[in-house]
Amino acid sequence: MIAVAANEAGKLWGGRFQGGLAPETFALSVSTAVDWRLALYDLSQTKAYAAELTRLGVIKPVQAEAIERAIGQMQEQIASGAIVPAATDEDVHSVIERELVARVGEFGSLVRTGRSRNDQVATDFRLYCRGAAREIAGQLANLVAALIAQANKHVDSVMPGYTHLQRAQPVSLAQVLGRHVISFLRDGVRLQAAEASADELPLGSAALAGSGFDLDVNRLAGLLGFSKVASNSVDAVTSRDFAVDLAYANAMIGVHLSQLAEDIILWVSAEFGFAKLDDAFSTGSSIMPQKKNPDVAELARGKSAGLIGDLTSLLVLLKGLPSAYNRDLQEDKQAVFSGVDSLLVTLPAMSGLVRTLEFDVPAMAAHAGANHSLATELADWFVGAGVSFANAHAVTGRLVQRAESRGKDVTGLTAADLEGALEPDMPRATEVAKALAKFSAKSAVAARKTPSGTSASSVRAQLAASEMALRDLQAFASPA
């Protein structure tokens, strides 16, 4: 056997090069600071791959035993932090091979036979993304559960509903909370799709053309928990669609967290006064002793910038690449890792914030019907009395104007206020005044009974459907 090339330990190439690498080149290309988190995946992959090479007779049974033992030991040592990259290691794959060779001797590098770092890194990264999708889903499910628990307490709590951030029509607080639930549940479906898109084994594709060894890739897929194998080796080493899918799911979670954060930031302001933050999920000011700030929500809103940026970075990284592996692809990991990290701190904090939020039901109710937000009730009532909606809308608008000029809410108009404002073919002022006196935020909410509407019965059904979907998300996050 020819001795392993006269390289420094852990160097995976070099035979055709003269002299050493410029320190500047090494400094640019080293990736251990980022990709070390793939170490355990790289090790499981190497274990499965060694088993396959043993089956093919490339690795002898006695060598296989030593390799397996060393890998078991390395698993523990990586987990405990006893193995870390050396300053001279180029990437996670170099560390794993160097450590393996250090334990078993030169034949440790047989695990590279017929495999390239191109299919190797794609395999590691897919394993990582699959795990990350489930981990994020678990935290997302906790947030959804916290929102549903709050919503269930507030099906009958009426609050002002806004469009353009102007009071529009009263709604149930549970429905607004349930709206966030539904957004996050859609994100959960996106996470599942991202996990499924990563579920395809690239191993066997080698550098780009496929491996020259007769690997049983289906067996390898089984060992590594993949349900499919790559169908095109060039695609397998080029494609990062799975990473984009996860980054997209993450970015959407960021957008939805940001929207939820914005609602909460408004609600806890003195101007709205709809909710109070728990001390444990708010922060103070270093100069203003009275302050209690919604920093958790603001950080969630802020983190969404990075999550959106990660998706954009990945897409831009990929768009100009010619077929097969290009070193640009080394930059793919940071974008995904940083998004995953940021969600894994943001989601638990937002769950706690939501769980401990205390709503001021009377304060919300007091404003729910104000600022003419029952005007639509009046227009609808006119329609019930035989007026076309266009005319009903026009006359109600005039009545709002009249109410405003008299410093009243439209529902406060008396028969005397209404004199002269109604067309001859419309109900009489006394009838209109009687109807107006009966309108309330509660009745307006109760009247909206379409399945997507804000009535208590509709909202209860919406929440029940969300609870079912939550169970699917929880099952995805922690498969039995």
Looking at the Cβ atoms of 100 and 329, the one nearer to ligand ARG is 329
d(CA 185, CA 147): 11
Identify which range of 60-68, 117-125, 140-148, 216-224 contacts ligand ARG by CB under 6 A: 117-125
Contact in structure between 346 and 299 (CB atoms under 8 Å): yes
Q: Report residue 338 as tokens.
A: 């940083």
CB proximity list for 102: less than 8 A, separation 6 or greater: 9, 108
Q: Is 285 a catalytic residue?
A: yes
Contact set for ligand ARG, span 226-265 (CB under 6 A): none
Contact in structure between 196 and 122 (CB atoms under 8 Å): no
Looking at the Cβ atoms of 109 and 440, the one nearer to ligand ARG is 109
Among 31, 197, 373, 411, binds ligand ARG (CB under 6 A): 31
Q: For residue 35, state whether it binds ligand ARG (rule: CB under 6 A).
A: yes
On the 0-12 / 13-18 / 19+ scale of CB atoms within 10 A, 343 is: buried
Residue 241: CB minimum distance to ligand ARG, A = 16
Q: Is 93 a catalytic residue?
A: no
Catalytic residue among 29, 227, 269, 285: 285
Q: For residue 330, state whether it binds ligand ARG (rule: CB under 6 A).
A: yes
Q: For residue 303, state whether it binds ligand ARG (rule: CB under 6 A).
A: no
- Contacts with ligand ARG by CB under 6 A: the residue count is 10
Identify which range of 168-176, 181-189, 321-329, 361-369 contacts ligand ARG by CB under 6 A: 321-329
Catalytic residue among 80, 164, 231, 405: 164
Looking at the Cβ atoms of 38 and 253, the one nearer to ligand ARG is 38
Q: For residue 45, state whether it binds ligand ARG (rule: CB under 6 A).
A: no
d(CA 403, CA 373): 13
Q: Which residues pair with 229 in a beta bridge?
A: 201
Q: For residue 11, state whether it binds ligand ARG (rule: CB under 6 A).
A: no
Residue 330: CB minimum distance to ligand ARG, A = 4
Q: For residue 94, state whether it binds ligand ARG (rule: CB under 6 A).
A: no
Looking at the Cβ atoms of 85 and 108, the one nearer to ligand ARG is 85
Going by C-alpha positions, the residue among 39, 4, 31, 26 that lies closest to residue 112 is 4
Q: For residue 336, state whether it binds ligand ARG (rule: CB under 6 A).
A: no
Among 243, 260, 329, 403, binds ligand ARG (CB under 6 A): 329
Looking at the Cβ atoms of 164 and 327, the one nearer to ligand ARG is 327
One character per residue 169-198, x = contact with ligand ARG (rule: CB under 6 A) = ------------------------------
Residue 122: CB minimum distance to ligand ARG, A = 8
Looking at the Cβ atoms of 118 and 455, the one nearer to ligand ARG is 118
CA atoms within 13 A on the CB side of 92: 25
On the 0-12 / 13-18 / 19+ scale of CB atoms within 10 A, 1 is: exposed
Among 52, 89, 91, 310, binds ligand ARG (CB under 6 A): 91
On the 0-12 / 13-18 / 19+ scale of CB atoms within 10 A, 45 is: buried
Looking at the Cβ atoms of 5 and 464, the one nearer to ligand ARG is 5
Q: For residue 150, state whether it binds ligand ARG (rule: CB under 6 A).
A: no
Q: For residue 121, state whether it binds ligand ARG (rule: CB under 6 A).
A: yes
d(CA 94, CA 176): 52
**C-alpha distances in Å from residue 409, one per residue of 77, 364, 390, 403:** 72, 17, 22, 6
The phi, psi pair for 208, rounded to 5°, reads -165, -25
Identify which range of 52-60, 114-122, 215-223, 397-405 contacts ligand ARG by CB under 6 A: 114-122
Where residue 388 falls (left for φ over 0; alpha for ψ -120 to 50; beta otherwise) is beta
CB proximity list for 268: less than 8 A, separation 6 or greater: 274, 275, 276, 277, 294, 357
The helix/strand/coil state of 166 is strand
Applying CB under 6 A, the residues found at the interface with ligand ARG are 31, 35, 91, 117-118, 121, 325, 327, 329-330
Residues catalogued as catalytic: 164, 285
